[in-house]
Amino acid sequence: MQRIVFTTTPGRIIDEIVHSASPSSVIVLADENTSRLVVPNIDSETVASAPVIIIAAGDEAKTITTASHVWDKLSALGATRHSLLINVGGGMVTDLGGFAASTFKRGIEFINVPTTLLGAVDASVGGKTGVNHGGFKNEVGVFNEARAVVLSTAFFNTLPQIELRSGYAEVLKHALLIGVDEVNRWLDYPIELFPYESNRLLGMIETGVNFKLHIVEQDPHEQGLRRCLNLGHTVGHAFESFALMRGTPVPHGHAVARGLVAELILSHLKCGFDGSWLHRLAKRILALYGNQLFTCDDYPTLLNLMHHDKKSVHGEINCTLLTAPGQFVNDFTVEDSDMCTALDIYRDLME
């Protein structure tokens, strides 16, 4: 069972976890940013004495080529089946590092140290690892949990506002799945104000992470219940891939925020989700993330991306929808015509 630690002294916790794992060697994986801004500031003997594999930052580097580079470095560093990899970074680093570790010599242990709000709430729980491939998000990967995930707001201090907002979308998604009070709590939180309210934020992250853990424990391989966590993601992934294809990538969370609006519109149309909630959320998301730039000419491309989504069983568009905050319906099959209607309304709402 994966250990999740919320802490204000991440370095000490990492040392403890490594000590109890007693690996044959320890290697740190970080990207160009976190290797410079975060790794030197983790107060950990283990991290300080470990070799660091540095990869390029950003989703464009989340490829099998980068994973290959990590395998090469692990081999060159003499890593064995009993070595341990510490992934220090955002979701890209923890996803790719988790995949590289899970497949190196058929699997070595790894620890995730998320350095972004998005990584803390989303990418580090549930054992999803992977890389993008052939233009599709996370097309190649495995389900495999880290030995431990070390969560600390200490790392968010160097985080640009754009990344903090990206994480906010994922916690908002959790809030929508949890219920009315949690949605209110997040809609009231001033994520645009800096410095953030550290304690309030950590408490909210903990609620979101624990909710996700609760769901994932009941359904580790995404056979049923867990699909609720895909709320906003069928359309969100399509928006993200679409932006990438056009050469104007948007952060994952920004795409998910917009995907949430589109799927709440569908929830309103098909499941009776309350219109005033929809408008309140759409307004907040528009204020934080701006609108999505596409026209009705782009619908066929967007629909095609949705039909290719991993959640699709027989090529249909598959969404999680809400009847109300906290009440979700998984595996709702959405007709192309309904999706187009939702995209029409989305363009009106988000202008």
In the complex, the residues that contact a copy of itself under the rule CB under 8 A are 24, 64, 68, 71-72, 75, 78, 80-82, 99, 102-107, 128-130, 133-134, 136, 138-143, 308, 310-315
Residue with tokens 């470095």: 73
Closest to 316 (Cα-Cα) out of 298, 331, 294, 302: 331
What minimum distance in Å lies between the beta carbon of 33 and a copy of itself? 27
Closer CB to a copy of itself, 141 or 232, in the complex: 141
What is the total residue count of the chain?
351
DSSP state of 157: G
Please identify, using beta-carbon distances, which residue of 75 and 157 lies nearer to a copy of itself. 75
CA distance 21 to 312: 38
Q: Which is nearer to a copy of itself, 210 or 301 (CB)?
A: 301
Nearest-approach distance from CB 81 to a copy of itself, in angstroms? 5
**Token pair recorded at residue 299:** 């619908």
Residues 6+ apart with CB under 8 A from 102: 110, 129, 142, 144
Which residues are bridge partners to 28 per DSSP?
52, 86
Distances (CA, A) of 254 to 20, 31, 80, 172, 276: 38, 21, 39, 12, 22
Query: At closest approach, how far in Å is the CB of 292 from a copy of itself?
Result: 25
Least Å from the CB of residue 2 to a copy of itself: 16
Nearest residue (CB) to a copy of itself, 78 versus 272: 78
Closer to a copy of itself at the Cβ: 72 or 335? 72
The β-bridge partners of 150 are 5
Rounded Cα–Cα distance for residues 337 and 143 (Å): 34
User: CB-wise, 71 or 299, nearer to a copy of itself?
Assistant: 71
Distance in Å, CB of 83 to a copy of itself, minimum: 10
Give the nearest distance from C-beta 308 to a copy of itself in angstroms.
7
d(CA 174, CA 183): 9
* End-to-end CA, the chain: 46
Q: How far is the CB of 108 from a copy of itself (least distance, A)?
A: 10
| Least distance from a copy of itself to the Cβ atom of residue 348, Å | 33
| Of 115 and 318, CB closest to a copy of itself | 318
- Counting Cα atoms < 13 Å in the Cβ hemisphere of 314 gives 3
Cα separation of 120 and 150, whole Å?
9
Query: From the CB of 335, what's the least distance to a copy of itself, in Å?
Result: 18
Query: Which of 226, 293, 306 lies closest to 263 in space, CA to CA?
Result: 306
**Sign of dihedral through CA atoms 258, 266, 242, 231?**
positive
Judged by beta carbon, residue 51 or residue 107, the one nearer a copy of itself is 107
Nearer to a copy of itself, 195 or 314 (CB): 314
Q: Tokens 């699909």 — which residue? A: 227
Instruction: State how beta strands 52-55 and 26-31 pair.
Output: parallel
